[in-house]
Amino acid sequence: MTAQSARAFWITAPGHGEIRAEALPSPSPDTVLIRALYSGVSRGTEALVFQGRVPASEYQRMRAPFQAGAFPAPVKYGYASVGSVERGPQELEGRNVFVLHPHQTRYQVPTDSVYVLPDDVPPGRAVLAANLETAINGLWDARAQAGDRIVIIGAGTVGCLVAWMAARIPGCEVELVDINPRRAAIASSLGVRLVDPAGVLADADVVIHSSGSPTGLDLALRIAGFEATIVEMSWYGTNIVAIPLGEAFHARRLTLKSSQVGAVASSQRPRWDAPRRMRLALTLLADPALDALITGETEFEALPRVMAELAAGPGETVCHRIRYD
């Protein structure tokens, strides 16, 4: 591999991926060259992309910042890369940075698209930045208040991160709900309690759903209290989801609200933009407790196999990290 070449993961057809050689563009004064150290697999979204389940209506909105190709395939997709600046402005050379870039060994991007990691955030943990940014936006959309009883359904990466932040709001009682009892150790590391769906009490002040399952959304509607808000953070791709809007949905005057990271939550939008939100996420990653969310790591060359396995079923995976040698 030369100084002007790289290797990247491409989805070549729904359910299939491969590593391809790539030529890097010639350097320019307003770009930086980055050597990847780690990337993270955002399992929920990337599984849908890998399986070709992005609705045609969302092809443009779903594009990642440095995506190449087009949905459904061939496409180079991903948005959680951490690397070291090999060439660029003097103040950036040698610094570790986060970039919303697909899985690739080296890449060149505009200087203003990189986020320098705080000194107390190790590169391996920084792969959580994109998911944490999503979680921040979801908690903003929920407008949780001090003292609220907050229930998060789904102990995947985003759900765990929302629960971790919610537990730090003064006076809040936070429950993280999942059908997998083995997630209890992770929840405990984050300072929250894991609850089986059958054991969740009703009348929650705020419910945040991130399980990606219609069953989880049904539970969210059943346990929400009078005039409570249910924030839907799951994305179902091409799946049609039936939800029970009969029974007591209207009598309890519930609000079902979507949350998506593409736009800053309306409560913060007058003062916040996406770069400020990302800088907040990177600052929050200083907590070593978040290492509990990294449940697996493999080398880059194994990514075609690993992505197929993660798309077929998460197993015990929360966040899977890719290592670049």
Tens of pLDDT, residues 112-129? 999 999 999 999 999 999
Q: DSSP assignment, residue 171?
A: T
* Residue 13 bridge partners (DSSP): 16
pLDDT band at 37 (very low <50, low <70, confident <90, very high): very high
- Return the percentage of the chain with pLDDT > 70, whole number: 99
Q: What domains are defined for the chain?
A: 5-120+286-323 (3.90.180.10), 131-258 (3.40.50.720)
pLDDT computed for residue 2 by the predictor: 54
User: Span 285-295, mean pLDDT?
Assistant: 97
* 2-23: pLDDT as tens digits: 558 899 999 999 999 999 999 9
Spatial contact of 161 and 231, defined as CB atoms under 8 Å apart? no
Q: Give, in order, the Cα–Cα distances in Å from 298 to each of 41, 80, 92, 294, 305.
A: 11, 15, 28, 11, 10
Residue, of 246 and 206, whose pLDDT is higher = 206
Return the minimum-mean-pLDDT range out of 108-122, 177-191, 269-283, 308-322.
308-322
pLDDT above 90: percentage of residues in the chain: 90
Buried-exposed string 206-222: b where 16+ CB fall within 10 A, e elsewhere: bbbbbbbbbebbbbbbe
Signed CA dihedral, 313, 316, 318, 321: sign only:
negative
Comparing 44-48, 252-256, 289-293, the range with the smallest average pLDDT is 44-48
On the question of pLDDT at 153 being above 80, the answer is: yes
Q: Considering only CA atoms, which of 13, 160, 24 is closest in space to residue 105?
A: 24
Rg, the chain, Cα only: 20
Distances in Å between the alpha carbon of 200 and those of 142, 146, 186, 187, 211?
A: 19, 20, 19, 16, 15
